[in-house]
Structure 1
Amino acid sequence: NAALEEARVILANDNATQEEVDASFARLATAMHMLEFLKGDKAELQDLVDSTADLVEGNYTEESWTALQEALTNANTVLNNENAMQEEVDEAYDNLQAAINGLEEAEVVDKSLLEAMVNKVLGLEEDKYIASSWQAMLPELEAAQEVLGNEKATQAEVDEACDALTRGYLNLRLKPNKDLLQSLINKANGLNSASYTAKTWAVVENEVIKAQAVLEDPEASEAEVKAAENALTKALEGLEMKSVEPVKAGDTTAGVKTGDAVSMMYPLLGLAIASLGFYGNKKRKRVN
Structure 2
Amino acid sequence: GLGLVQGDKTMLEQLINKADGMIPDEDKYMPDHWQELVDALAAAKDVMADGDAMEEDIQPVAEALLNAILAQRFKADKSILDDLINKAEGINLDGYTAESVATFRTALANAQAVMADNSLSEDDQATVDDAVAALTAAMDGLTAGGAPETTDKPEATDKPETSQKPEATQKPENKVPQTGDNSGLMLWLTAGLASLGGAVSVFLKKKRQ
TM normalised by structure 1 equals 0.47
Q: In 1, Cα distance between the equivalents of 2:20 and 2:34?
A: 12
Cα contact 1:128–1:174 (8 A) shared by 2: no
Identity of aligned residues (%): 24
Q: In 1, Cα distance between the equivalents of 2:134 and 2:155?
A: 37
What SS does the corresponding residue of 1:110 show, helix, strand or coil? coil
> 1:39-50 maps to which residues of 2 (within 5 A)?
none
Q: 1:234 to 1:156 in 2, by over 3 A?
A: farther
What SS does the corresponding residue of 2:4 show, helix, strand or coil? coil
Query: Aligned match of 2:136 in 218, 230, 233?
Result: 233
Match of 1:206 in 2: 106
> 1:113-124 maps to which residues of 2 (within 5 A)?
113-124=11-22
Query: Aligned match of 2:160 in 274, 281, 288?
Result: 274
Cα contact 2:84–2:132 (8 A) shared by 1: yes
Cα contact 2:19–2:37 (8 A) shared by 1: no
Q: Kindly report the root-mean-square deviation, in angstroms, between the aligned alpha carbons of the 2 structures.
A: 3.3
Superposed displacement of residue 128, structure 1: 5.2
5+ residue gaps, structure 1: 1-56, 61-104, 245-259
What SS does the corresponding residue of 1:116 show, helix, strand or coil? helix
Structure number with greater CO (CA < 8 Å, separation at least 6) is 2
Q: In 1, Cα distance between the equivalents of 2:119 and 2:30?
A: 7
Query: Aligned match of 1:263 in 115, 130, 149?
Result: 149
Query: Aligned match of 1:221 in 114, 121, 132?
Result: 121
Q: 1:203 to 1:146 in 2, by over 3 A?
A: same
Match of 2:28 in 1: 129
For each residue in 1:19-67, what CA deviation from the matched residue of structure 2 results, as whole angstroms up to 9, or x when unmatched? xxxxxxxxxxxxxxxxxxxxxxxxxxxxxxxxxxxxxx4xx3xxxxxxx
AA aligned opposite 2:53: A
Superposed displacement of residue 142, structure 1: 0.6
5+ residue gaps, structure 2: 176-209
AA aligned opposite 1:233: T
Superposed displacement of residue 241, structure 1: 4.6
Q: In 1, Cα distance between the equivalents of 2:84 and 2:16?
A: 40
Cα contact 1:129–1:172 (8 A) shared by 2: no
Cα contact 1:130–1:173 (8 A) shared by 2: yes
Matched pairs, number = 168
What SS does the corresponding residue of 1:123 show, helix, strand or coil? helix
Match of 2:50 in 1: 150
Q: In 2, Cα distance between the equivalents of 1:221 and 1:194?
A: 39
Superposed displacement of residue 153, structure 1: 3.1
Match of 2:197 in 1: none
Q: 1:219 to 1:195 in 2, by over 3 A?
A: same
Please identify the structure whose Cα radius of gyration is greater. 1
